[in-house]
Amino acid sequence: MGGRNVIFNLGGEASNGRDYVWGLAANLAGVKTTDAELSYFMKLDDAGIARDQLGATFKQYLLNSVKLYGNARFDLTSETFSELLAGVKYYPVSNLVLTGEWYQSYPIFDNSSIFSVFAVDRYQEGVLRVDYTLNDKASVNAGYSRQVYGEGSDVNVYQIGTRLRPIEPVQVSLNYDFQNGNGNVLNGGGAEVTYEPIKPLELAAGLQYDVYQRDQATGRETARRYWLGGKYKLNKTMTASLRIEDNVNHQFTNDWSGRAVFNYDF
């Protein structure tokens, strides 16, 4: 892959002839229960090499009931892993999935950026999750994650959710989150409804409502998010989607945003 890094500011285009990116990847083939990929990525700017990174992904299936997987991204300039993921999924029965994951990330900036000289904290997260399918109309899930932000800033997150299909073209997803730690408390829930009136068209609408307290000196505040969207499959290789979203919180009475996407699969 390769391309030009295009940057705009208030005066117009701010990129130049040296803003390029390129990369390559190699995949393991011929091994039925193993997937692996190695990749290389380089970003260039006026100062020379802005980013120089190696990546790897791995999946291994064992005994028809266990899946091991992992991702890694290594920055050659700083000799630091910017991202690591290790996980295992266990399928004791066909409708039950047990998941355990460990994730770590470390912010990496362009070599030419002033931010590359500042010290930053490493983020780590451990996840335990259970997914259970009751039947073709309903499924439930529950999870716990421990988020470690550095300098003693640890957060516990508890999640439960369900997915319902009352009639064939309609799906309803509900979720509830509780989060505490680092002086913060958050209670929140969300709902999303998707509807497929005809085969190539999918419509969706949803909302998220959160009540949170950032520290003991502040009172409770609320944040709400509403969205509408749709996706249309033009043919086997092309899809178009549109999403409109409004955010309401202590900073904005209304904060509208939209996104239109056209996808083409080669």
Tokens 């409109």 -> residue: 244
pLDDT at site 3: 86
Could you please report the per-residue DSSP string of 210-259? EEEESSTTS--EEEEEEEEEEEEE-SSSEEEEEEEEEEESSS-S-EEEEE
Beta-carbon-side half-sphere exposure of residue 195 (alpha carbons within 13 Å): 8
- State residue 217's pLDDT score: 64
Phi, psi (deg, nearest 5) at residue 15: -80, 165
195-217 pLDDT, tens digit per residue, is 999 989 999 999 999 988 766 66
200 three-class SS: coil
SS3 114: helix
| pLDDT at 215 (0 to 100) | 64
Q: How far is the CA of 1 from the CAs of 23, 94, 257, in angstroms?
A: 5, 38, 30
Q: What count of other Cβ atoms lies within 10 Å of the Cβ of residue 120?
A: 12
Contact 5, 13 (CB under 8 A): no
**In the structure encoding, which two tokens stand for residue 226, read together?**
């509403």
* pTM attached to this predicted model: 0.78
CATH 2.40.160.40 fits 121-264, yes or no: yes
Enumerate residue ranges in the chain where pLDDT < 50.
none
> What is the C-alpha radius of gyration for the chain, rounded to an integer number of angstroms?
22
Dist. CA 137–CA 199, nearest whole Å: 19
What are the domain boundaries of the chain?
Answer: 121-264
List Cβ neighbours of 226 (8 Å cut-off, separation of 6 or more). 206, 207, 245, 246, 248
Q: What is the predicted pLDDT for the residue at 206?
A: 96
